[in-house]
Amino acid sequence: MPVAVAAVRDAFISLARGEFSSPLRTSFDCGRTLVMPVFHSPTGSSTTKSVILRPGQRPAIRGVVTWISEDLELVLDAHAVTTLRTGAVVGVATEMLARPDAHRLVLIGAGTLAFDQIRAVAAVRDLEHVVIVSRSLTSADALGDRVRSAFPELTVVTGLDPAPHLGSADIVCCATSSTRPVFDPADLPEVVHINAIGAYTLNMRELPSGAFAGADVVVDDLEAARSEAGDLMDAIADGVLSLGSVTELSPRLNANEKVRRGRTVFKSVGLGIQDWAICDAVASQLAASGERDFRQSEARA
């Protein structure tokens, strides 16, 4: 995960420098089928991800990511790339926005993206305590067991209700497909960092409007957020947030900006440059080993 976080961070800095051509993703079938193309001009490499989203099924994401340069071709499993790159961008945002001494994480959602959220936060902060909340206690417990196995040093708690745990949280991660807010903003502490990566259409909601009030709000891309981030646009419509106060991740990383104390929110709908970053990292490793072609059957991001 540290390699993935570094790769995605570098990609966002490259985005700020104008090195990517990356149109908004094309969606079909009410947002269940997505196509995301990206071109990186300095290397002449391109990535295209084609996926079908299958909520409630395993895997929830099915598809492929192709990466092509003059010297190498990659075909990778889209589920593996998506979970890794989504975790990695949370690591990038958390590293920039969360308190340096943050050690208590509340994760809302126990689905396909959840485990890499914890891995990413653990890569950039010295976590001690993790709470996993899900509508299904079975899912929360299963993820809890996986986290305990991977991170035996962590205290891991599972449950159905985030409310008793939010007041002591340093970091909150939301990774759900909810159409309603998943917590009450009144339960949040004054100083907390929130990552929200699950709601990616205008009819989805993870964050209540109150979570944005008075916060330093950062998005992966303003145009994408206006088109796809339902909870962010609700907050603007409700008057608790102005679009002009929302900033993008890439220029802030490029400028190495300092972050003020208080509440910080990172809202991500996912960008193709994140997929490119993971593929580029894999391609670099393969090129160093002398491989010239890497097919999906061998790919594990």
**Beta strand pairing call for 247-248 and 216-219:** parallel
Residue 299 has pLDDT above 60, yes or no: no
Q: Which pLDDT does position 57 carry in this prediction? A: 64
CA distance to 128, 131, 152, 204, 262, per residue, from 106 (Å):
11, 5, 17, 20, 17
Over 50: is that where the pLDDT of 86 sits?
yes
Confidence at 292, pLDDT banded by 50, 70, 90: low
Q: How far apart are CA 16 and CA 190, in angstroms?
A: 31
pTM of the model: 0.90
What proportion of the chain, given as a percentage, has pLDDT over 70? 92
Residue spans per domain, the chain: 2-82+273-298, 93-270
Q: Which pLDDT belongs to residue 59?
A: 65
Mean pLDDT of the chain: 90
Lowest mean pLDDT among 75-79, 253-257, 291-295: 291-295
Question: Regarding predicted confidence, which is higher, 25 or 48?
Answer: 48
For the segment 205-232, the average pLDDT, to the nearest whole number, is: 93
Chain segment 48-64, per-residue pLDDT in tens: 999 887 666 666 678 89
Q: Given this chain, do its domains 2-82+273-298 and 93-270 carry the same CATH topology?
A: no
Q: Which two tokens stand for residue 129?
A: 């305590």
Domain 2-82+273-298 maps to which CATH number in 3.30.70.3270, 3.40.50.300, 3.90.1210.10, 3.30.1780.10? 3.30.1780.10
Q: What is the pLDDT of residues 238-287, one digit of tens each?
A: 999 999 999 999 999 998 877 777 999 999 989 999 999 999 999 888 77
Average pLDDT for 146-164: 97
> For 93-270, CATH number?
3.40.50.720
User: What pLDDT is recorded for position 287?
Assistant: 72
The pLDDT confidence band at residue 301, using thresholds 50, 70 and 90, is: very low
Q: State the DSSP string of 70-131.
A: SS-EEEEEHHHHHHHHHHHHHHHHHHHHS-TT--EEEEE--STTHHHHHHHHHHHS---EEE
Q: Residue 70 has what pLDDT?
A: 86
